[in-house]
């Protein structure tokens, strides 16, 4: 299965292709790498602003591009499907720009060349971990690990790298810049369930009560999850216990069911993706509980 929907989404596909093409060009066309990699001299002295974008498509070797594209391959389609292609590309590119600037301004070696999609992909990983903290991935295609643990492990490495000034050749500030963009987008710009209209889905599994969780609460939940094997319910279990209903959420579910039923009437049930089928089932269950009281 590709991504979360069994298919490559348009922007993710184009980014993958662009990275592969750029990777081939940087090793076959003289001067290509030097012109498009991000450097302080190129940006400040020569005013090559395009380097803030072009560097995101260059990589330092096969393993560098392979693991970056693997991350995009698995996590990108889910976010693009939820946010929309234009918004996904905007967040992805903005994260890369912020990451590059962070590395140039804050690192101990600002004169070094900066390249790679890692900054952009850290924004993708951050958003995915906040939305789907308990989603499991296979490390080396063998060991199942929840994405929240992967994210926190990578975050710890980057924070340690920044504090130690180890000079390991990894752009830790760029990674943290990408994390910052992911956090800011989820907190301030990602649509809530009540304003869903082709934007992001944050759904019941990201809600602990009738209100949406802030990004601070989500981050706290990620850290609090260490050492605790107790699984959090995906549905708002308190509603069954207290018989209390969030009427904003109720309105959202009704609108979501209507939207999905309209789509079924147009293209058929089989053309719903897995996420839409899950949302339809969750919404239907919630409405049945409400109607039974």
Summarised one tens digit per residue, pLDDT across range 216-229 is 555 555 555 544 44
Percent of the chain with pLDDT over 90: 47
pLDDT given for residue 57 in this prediction: 98
pLDDT mean over 271-281: 80
Percent of the chain with pLDDT over 70: 74
The mean predicted confidence, pLDDT, of the chain is 79
Q: Taking Cα atoms as reference points, which of 239, 226, 233 lies closest to residue 206? A: 233
Residue 286 has pLDDT above 50, yes or no: yes
CB 15 within 8 A of CB 85: no
The domain segmentation of the chain, as residue ranges, is: 10-193, 234-293
pLDDT given for residue 119 in this prediction: 96
For residue 4, name the pLDDT band (cuts at 50, 70, 90). Answer: very low
pLDDT mean over 43-56: 94
Angle between helices 215-224 and 118-131 (to 10 degrees): 80
Q: What is the 3-state secondary structure (H, E, C) of the chain?
A: CCCCCCCCCHHHHHHHHHHHHHHHHHHHCCCHHHHHCECHHHHHHCCCCCHHHHHHHCCCCHHHHHHHHHHHHHHHHHHHHHHCHHHHHHHHHHHHHHHHHHHHHHCCCCCCCECCCHHHHHHHHHHHHHHCCCCEEEECCCEEEEHHHHHHHHHHHHHHHHHHCCCCCCCHHHHHHHHHHHHHHHHHHCCCHHHCCCCCCCCHHHCCCCCCCCHHHHHHHHHHCCCCCCCCCCCCCHHHHHCCCCHHHHHHHHHHHHHHHHHHHHHCHHHCCHHHHHHHHHHHHHHHHHHCC
Residue 173 has pLDDT above 60, yes or no: yes
Residue 167 has pLDDT above 50, yes or no: yes
For residue 193, name the pLDDT band (cuts at 50, 70, 90). Answer: very low
- Check residue 246 and give left, alpha or beta (phi > 0: left; psi -120 to 50: alpha): beta
pLDDT given for residue 268 in this prediction: 75
Summarised one tens digit per residue, pLDDT across range 112-143 is 899 999 999 999 999 999 999 998 887 777 78
CB 92 within 8 A of CB 123: yes
pLDDT given for residue 238 in this prediction: 45
Higher-scoring residue by pLDDT: 52, 8: 52
Residue 29 has pLDDT above 70, yes or no: yes
Q: Which CATH architecture has domain 10-193?
A: Up-down Bundle (1.20)
Residue 240 has pLDDT above 80, yes or no: no
Q: Taking Cα atoms as reference points, which of 159, 97, 149 lies closest to residue 123? A: 97
pLDDT given for residue 76 in this prediction: 94
Out of 139-148, 191-200, 212-221, 250-259, least confident range: 191-200
For residue 269, name the pLDDT band (cuts at 50, 70, 90). Answer: confident
Q: Is the pTM of this model over 0.85?
A: no
Angle, CA 165 vertex, CA 161 and CA 168 arms, to 5°: 65
Summarised one tens digit per residue, pLDDT across range 51-109 is 999 999 999 999 999 999 999 999 999 899 888 899 999 999 999 999 999 999 998 77
């Amino acid at each position: 299965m590709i991504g979360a929907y069994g298919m490559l989404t348009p922007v993710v596909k184009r980014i993958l292709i662009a990275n592969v093409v750029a990777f081939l060009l940087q090793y076959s066309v003289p001067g290509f790498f030097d012109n498009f990699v991000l450097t302080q001299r190129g940006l400040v002295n020569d005013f090559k602003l395009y380097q803030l974008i072009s560097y995101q498509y260059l990589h330092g070797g096969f393993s560098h591009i392979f693991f970056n594209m693997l991350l995009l391959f698995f996590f990108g389609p889910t976010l693009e499907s939820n946010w929309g292609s234009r918004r996904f590309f905007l967040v992805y590119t903005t994260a890369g720009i912020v990451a590059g600037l962070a590395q140039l301004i804050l690192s101990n070696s600002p004169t070094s060349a900066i390249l790679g999609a890692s900054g952009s992909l850290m924004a993708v990983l951050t958003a995915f971990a906040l939305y789907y903290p308990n989603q499991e991935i296979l490390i080396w295609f063998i060991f199942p690990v929840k994405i929240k643990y992967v994210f926190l492990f990578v975050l710890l490495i980057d924070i340690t790298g920044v504090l130690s000034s180890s000079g390991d050749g990894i752009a830790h500030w760029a990674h943290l810049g990408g994390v910052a963009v992911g956090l800011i987008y989820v907190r301030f710009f990602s649509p809530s369930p009540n304003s869903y209209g082709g934007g992001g889905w944050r759904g019941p599994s990201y809600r602990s009560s009738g209100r949406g969780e802030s990004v601070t609460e989500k981050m706290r939940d990620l850290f609090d999850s260490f050492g605790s094997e107790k699984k959090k319910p995906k549905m708002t279990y308190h509603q069954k216990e207290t018989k209390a209903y969030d009427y904003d959420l109720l309105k959202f579910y009704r609108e979501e069911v209507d939207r999905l039923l309209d789509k079924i009437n147009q293209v058929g049930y089989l053309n719903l993706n897995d996420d839409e089928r899950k949302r339809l089932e969750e919404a239907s269950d919630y409405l049945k509980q409400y109607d039974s009281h």
